[in-house]
Amino acid sequence: MNTSKAKYINVNGRLMDLSKPRVMGILNVTPDSFYAESRMQGEEQIACRVRQILNEGADLIDIGAYSSRPGAADVSPHEEMERLRIGLKILFREAPEAIVSVDTFRADVAKMCVEEFGVALVNDISAGQMDANMFATVTRLGVPYIMMHMQGTPQNMQKQPHYDDLLKEVFFYFSQRIACLRDLGAKDIILDPGFGFGKTLEHNYELMAHLEEFALFDLPLLVGISRKSMIYRLLGTTPQEALNGTTVLNTVSLLRGANILRVHDVRQAVEAVRMVEQLKKCD
């Protein structure tokens, strides 16, 4: 069982201890996210979702305005910014003290969210690969940065993904990207293995089976498997029926070292954290 040592990140000038796993609730201000129930566009929908995320016990809110589902349509930087401005105004009106991350691969979008709204973290599915300015921007902004592994782009990542050695290639990818960020002076880096991004079902379970090995980086680990195809395709169901499978894999992730769970269903993830933490006390 995982007995992770304390890992801290600086969020808005305060240290957040990630040795106790945290739950990040997903707020999608998009019309086309893969899980239909997560799509929030109207003002009251967004406000209600913010209240739900926090009332169910989330520590962070991850807001995104660009769907990264396989084959998703491209969205212009202007449209992404406008969606986020609307969403963030409502979010901070409802919860002024919320700790918010922005899910974007664009440096200018990240900069706007941090400087105009005080967003505390940047969550980048491309680890700086889709915008050459991202690393310099997040380093200058001084916010924690979540870098995810993805093979390809959201438009082509699931067209026959291939690895000669999955773990070796993912680890090498992170080693290179971390070194680039460190050279620029970045401090708080969080890793996301990228379940479902340029990976087959078998690749996803291989990553999950070896999740503990990410400890070699000595960095916080975020896991986002909420209602993804690795669950519902294996079980022959749908995203709407994937809550039980999500909870199972969230629990496995916690036992194997996850520090942050990025989820649609906050209450169930918070309960999983509480039970796993209780188990750890018995070690």
Which residues carry out catalysis? 228, 262
* Rounded-to-integer distance, Cα 26 and Cα 265, Å: 8
Per DSSP, the three-state class of 92 is helix
Q: Is 202 exposed, middle or buried (0-12, 13-18, 19+ CB in 10 A)?
A: exposed
The answer for residues whose C-beta is within 8 angstroms of residue 171's C-beta and 6 or more apart is 213, 216
Q: What DSSP string describes 31-74?
A: S--SSGGGB--SHHHHHHHHHHHHHTT-SEEEEESS--STTPPP
Residue 98 CB neighbours (<10 A) = 21
Order of strands, sheet of 22-28, starting from the edge strand that comes earlier in the sequence: 189-192, 145-148, 121-124, 100-103, 60-64, 22-28, 260-263, 222-223
CA distances from 132 to 105, 136, 137, 176, 259 (A): 10, 8, 10, 14, 28
Which is nearest to 68 in space by CA: 154, 131, 127?
154
